Each structure stands twice: as structure tokens, then as C-alpha cells.
Amino acid sequence: MSDIRLTENSQHRRHGSNSGQGLTRREGVLKVTGAATYAADNHPDGMLYAVCATSTIARGRVVGLDEAAARAHPGVVDVLTTGNRPALAMDPDAKTNPFMFRLDLLQNDRVRYAGQPIAVVIAETLEAASEGALLLAPRYEVDAARVGLDGAESFVPQAVGVGSPSLAEKGDVEAGLRGAHRRVEATYETPAQYHNAMEPHCVVAAWDGDRLSLDMPTQGLAMAQQRLAGLFGIPPENIAIRSPYLGGGFGSKGFPAGPQVLGIMAARHTGRPVKLVLPREQMFGPVGHRAATRQSLRIGIAEDGALTAIANHTRTASSTFDDFFEPAADVAHTLYASPAIRTSYDAVRLDTGTPLFMRAPGEASGSITLESAIDEAAYAAAMDPLAFRLRNYADVEPMSGKPFSSKRLRDCYEHGAERFGWTARPLEPRQMRDTDGLLVGWGVGTATFPAVMFQANARAVIRRDGPALLETGAHDMGQGAWTALAQIGADALGLSIDAVEFRAGTSDLPDAGIAGGSGHTATAGLALHNAGVNVLARLADIAMADERSPLFGAGNVGTLARDGRLVRRDDESRGESFAAILERAGLAEIDASGQGAVDGASQEAYAMHAHGAVFAEVKVDPDLGQIRVSRLVGAFAAGRVINPRLVESQLFGGMIWGISFALHEHAVVDHRSGRIMNADFAEYHIPVNADVPSLEAILVHEDDPHVNALGIKGVGEIGITGTGAAIANAVWHATGRRLRRFPIMLSDLIGEPQRD
């Protein structure tokens, strides 16, 4: 497998720190010119095309397929079914760890959800494979589909999210509610939302004996290797994965999806390379989604506006065959200084694909409801919504009692409010109109997301001739990881970013962990930093032990790296180049490894979060109910900013998704068949350019000495939290109607709500 090398000239030679500079993307020219090779752009010699035939029912059995018709179609090579699929070394329904999700790999004739793969047609052309899949004309025994949050018997899950308890509480919630001067009790509903990254899931697979080569988008190269090695019974090192570019992931590409594995099985079955790319409509089922929730919130407010209790009971859903429960209520653990907090859950099992991690899992669906309810509480207390939030500002994490590693939320409120002009907001709704007679409303929502880290490894090489080399199996989903990580690594070596070659995106490189949870830059970045520090230490040891070096005997004072040179800390005029040190030692290069990992002691002592505040302006047609978001201002404190240009882009992306959550995005399910009725981009509504207003993201300076050695927090997910609620609260301020089902629709404003 060839290396993926980024050597494009960034056109930004800088002296001093690379971090903090708004450099353009190193791979940007490749992407805009079409030279960047995504997984499905690969066409090995002799390649076949595979297409999944998927179920049109949500529950039952496949009792017949017209395989003969499909095989007789010109260009069709074969059809994979439950009867002839290659054997697997592991049952795809087996789970050996909590992060292993069950896959549909033609293991039996059962149908567990609409859109489940039930056969794979392999052909010489994509057209032939697609036509062959239609010719299969499946016949079913159909059972009634279980649909909706009331569609099955409820139960209490053992855990939600990533092992969080389904019941958590502190203080006496019922006493806090009984003693409250005012109470808010409201039920909110959020819809099922489906992963729809620009690049759909795909794979190009080729076998050579027991060695497997893959072009496949993934957020976790090493995790994909391990999962596929178990399924196919080969060593992980026999699997080579190239994933240099991802057209978005949002959590759905953290684990190999069933259709990708089916493509690999098709390649093994035929003995030829196979490409399988999911069409858009097949993204609604086997690759994860955000589950619907129904959240019943109760909030108590004292006479002085202080919170006395917060309770959130959430109902959510998982599939009938696996477990993932959206931890929506848990956002209440982290925000407001209530003396009593309780979060609890129940769930139902539905005939649907298994929900998975989706951008800000739990926080997105939880913040839009909690922040809407907090707005209701503010008005119950006759207080301005921003003043109410400041009144109940938490100095320590409310549930755990841990001090925050750094907390700049108050600054976010103040910076955002000043830029937005919040002081001009009238308290009562329906008080503002624009020159066209549209109702105008202003709303605010608090943003929060935990600052997490995983584990990663990296390698740094100083060469006598040529640029330094940095290597880690990092993943760039479009967030700019190749640029930001190269900036961190270059800083560690004391070099300009243009003096560094950065390699990422292939499984033969050091494991960079998973790109998820907004933790990739911190994790892989720390590994690169430590690799750079370690290789410089090795180089310094050589120089300080060499009597011919100006650095001889400098062990007590130490050295610094400056623009390709090592210099004494106490006298920077005394030093020599990296190349001179290596040449005298007779070495062409020197290397070292580094690791990035959580500091367990800091994690135990501190609560670690990024924070923000989003302010929204909406305009509502009083006759038609049409809603337009006209302005969004977000202020975010997210630790040390490596590249403000990329950070702003990520925050904008999250804020736009918040618009989608509040006003556009939901899956419509046919309750008779269990099928998703809007499984395409024509009817699964997401914001387009006309829906995206003036956006502004303010980066609030934050130095967090505890979160990690680099002070980095993630920004990939925090932008969506706070934004949806800010918009919903602005709609209330414009119209005087408090709407508790998302997305908000025209029918909610002009008559009785009409829902699927």
C-alpha cells in the first residue's frame, strides 16, 4: 500500500509558533481541484460492482428471491444470499465488548428493519448490479412493525450512552419541587435523525490469499482492522486500510458498517476486487442514526430565581437486536447549580436499525430540551432568560461536585450578548417586528460538550537531508485534522509547517485512536507533540555527548529547538543544525515515538468541558407561520485554539446543524410498514444556503491547565448544542407559542400540529 503524503506548499511560511495561526488546509487544493482520492474513487484492475438488495418490510422473513432472474441478467456475475455467502470466523451477532455492534451479514432469513441488506448482487457494471438487485423481487412473511416511542413495551435499560447509569440523582428532587415557589413541567419530543454525510459508506476490497486491502472511509483505522480481523479470521496486520479523506462521518463511520463488510465478502466470494457504495436511500437503516426521545422535565424555582430541582425522565429507543440508548437527559448533570438533580430513562425496542453515536450524542437532543425548559423557567420567575442563566451559573459541575478544569461560560454569555445586542431585547413576546411586518424574536441557549481524550501513538523522524517526518494514522473527516495536527507536530520540532512532511490516513501508521467525541486533535496532537519532544531529546543527547559539538556538556541547562537547530537554553547563540549533529554521528535520520493519553489524575480531580452560548434571531410570518433564522451569534470557550480558521468552520457547521435540528430534520416513518418515507435528500430536509443566516462565532480565550498538556479541547460537536434551543426560544419570543416538538413546523404555528 502506498503512503499518503501531504507535501503541498501551504504558502504560509512563518517564524515562531505554527499553532494559533489560521493556516489554510494543506490538502485544500487537492480537494477543490478533484485530485483528492476518496475511497470510491479507486478502481483496481478487474474490479466488480456490488449492490445491496434491501428489505421493503420492517419485520418478518424473506421466503423467496428470484435469484435465477438476477443471475441471468447481462453483466451479473453472482448473487450473495444466506445460502452461499462466505463463511465468517465470528458470528456477526456476537459481542465481545460494549463497542462492538451487531451486523446484518446475511446470517439468516430474518428481517429486523426496513432497509436491511437481504442479498448482494455482484456484476461487471454498476448498472447491471443495480438492475439485478431489482430483479430479485423478494417475497416475505410479514409481521406487524413496532414503530414509535409507544410502539412496544417499555423497560429500563441497564446503561445509556457509553456506560452511564440509567438512573442518576443527587439531593432530594421531590422535596425541591414541593418547596419551589414556581414549577415548570413540560414534555419535549425530538425526532429520529439519520446520518447523511456527503460521502456515503462504501468500500473497495481486494483479497490476496489471506491478505486484505481496503479503500474505506473510517473514523477508526485500528478499530476497523480489529473488527474485520475477527470476522474474517485473519491477523489485523494482514488488513491494510487506506482512508486519507472522509466526506464527513459524524459518528457513523466509527465502526465498519454491515454493507462495507458485505462488499468485502463479495470480493472473497468472487476472487476479484469489488466496490460497494451505498446509494443515499440505503443510508437510512444499517449505518446508524440518532434515536427519537420523549423528555419529561420538571424544574423548581425559588422566589429569588434560584433553581431548587431539575428532573428529566427520558424515553428513547433502540433496535430489537442491539443496545444503544441516547443519553439525552445527562446534559442536566453539567450545567446549572441546582441542589437536586435526577435523570432517569426507559426505552422501547423498535423494528429499526440500531441507533449509534451521532454528532453530540445525548448533548444535542438533551440540550435543545433542557435549554427550552430553562427558558420556560426564566419566564416563570419573571426574569430575563440570560439573567436567569447567570443567576443559576454553576461554579462546580453540579452532579459530581468536581471543580471545572476551566470554566469560561460566564465570559461566553457576556461576549455573545454584547455582540448580539441582547440588552435591547424586550422581555415579553410578540413585541418586535421588522419593516416587512414579520414577527422578530431573540433567544439564547447554553452550549456544552465534555472535553474527552482517547489514546494515540505517533512517530517523529528528523532527517539529515530533507524535511522532518511526522506519522500517525489520523483521520480527517473534513475538520482539517491534517493541517492542525501538522501544526502541532511542527511546533514540537521547532520547525515551520513547510519544513515538515505529515503522513496520515493509512492503517500501517501508528494507531491514532478514533476520530470521535471531539477528542481527535487533543489525542493525536499530544501523541505527535510527545514524539517530537522525544526525538529532540535523542538528538540532544547525541550532541551534548559529542566534544566537537557547541552543545557539549549542556545537559544541566538543556536545549531548545529553533528553526532546524538545537541551541542552549541559556545562550541561544550557541548551537548547531539538526543536520550537522546527524552528519557527525554518521546517521541519516533519528526517530522516536510518542503517545497521547488521558491524564487519569486530572480526570479524577476535575470536570472537563467546553462551553459556549448561542444567540439567535428569527423572523416569523404571522399569517403563514414561515420561520427564517436571520442571525446567529455564538461565543465558545474551547481551550487552546490550534487553527482559528478551522475552528470557526467547525463551529459554523455545528450551528448550521442546530438550525436543522430546530426547524428541518426528521425521519418520517410509515406506521403501517415501518419504512422511512423520506429516505432521500428531496424530502429529508436539511438546511440549504437560503436557510443559513449571518453566522458569527466568537472564540473566547481559555487557558485550561488541566485538560491535557496542550490545553486543547474539541470543537466538532459543541456548536450544535445550544443552537437548536436558542432558535426554539427565539420562535417563542417572536410568536408567544411555546413549541415542544422538534423540528418546529408551519402547522405548529398556524393550527393544530400535524405529525406522522
Residues classed as catalytic: 717
Contacts for 691 with CB less than 8 Å, ≥ 6 apart: 628, 629, 659, 663, 664
Nearest partner of 486 among 474, 470, 475, 473, judged by Cα: 470
CA 315 to chain centre: 23
Task: Quote the CA–CA distance of 665 and 216 in Å, as a whole number.
Answer: 27
Task: Quote the CA–CA distance of 739 and 726 in Å, as a whole number.
Answer: 13
Cβ distance 138 to 61 under 8 Å? Answer: no
3-state secondary structure of 260: helix
Q: Which three cell numbers stand for residue 282?
A: 440505503
Q: Using the 8-state DSSP alphabet, how is residue 264 labeled?
A: H
Task: Quote the CA–CA distance of 301 and 280 in Å, as a whole number.
Answer: 47
Residue for grid cell 520547525: 495
φ, ψ for residue 127, nearest 5 deg: -60, -45
Task: Quote the CA–CA distance of 674 and 73 in Å, as a whole number.
Answer: 31
Cβ distance 425 to 729 under 8 Å? Answer: no
Task: Quote the CA–CA distance of 730 and 746 in Å, as a whole number.
Answer: 15
Q: Report in angstroms the alpha-carbon separations of 273 from 2, 178, 230.
A: 17, 67, 21
CA 162 to chain centre: 14
Q: What angle do CA 52, 57, 58 make, to 5 degrees?
A: 100
Nearest partner of 642 among 565, 529, 559, judged by Cα: 529
3-state secondary structure of 137: coil
Q: Using the 8-state DSSP alphabet, how is residue 104 labeled?
A: -
Nearest partner of 744 among 729, 730, 728, judged by Cα: 728
Task: Quote the CA–CA distance of 609 and 717 in Å, as a whole number.
Answer: 12
Nearest partner of 364 among 278, 290, 259, 266, judged by Cα: 290
3-state secondary structure of 178: helix
Residue 144 bridge partners (DSSP): none
Amino acid (one-letter) located at 596: G
Residue 567 bridge partners (DSSP): 560, 575
**Helix spans in 545-591 (H):** 578-585
Task: Quote the CA–CA distance of 727 and 663 in Å, as a whole number.
Answer: 8
**Helix spans in 570-704 (H):** 578-585, 600-605, 644-663
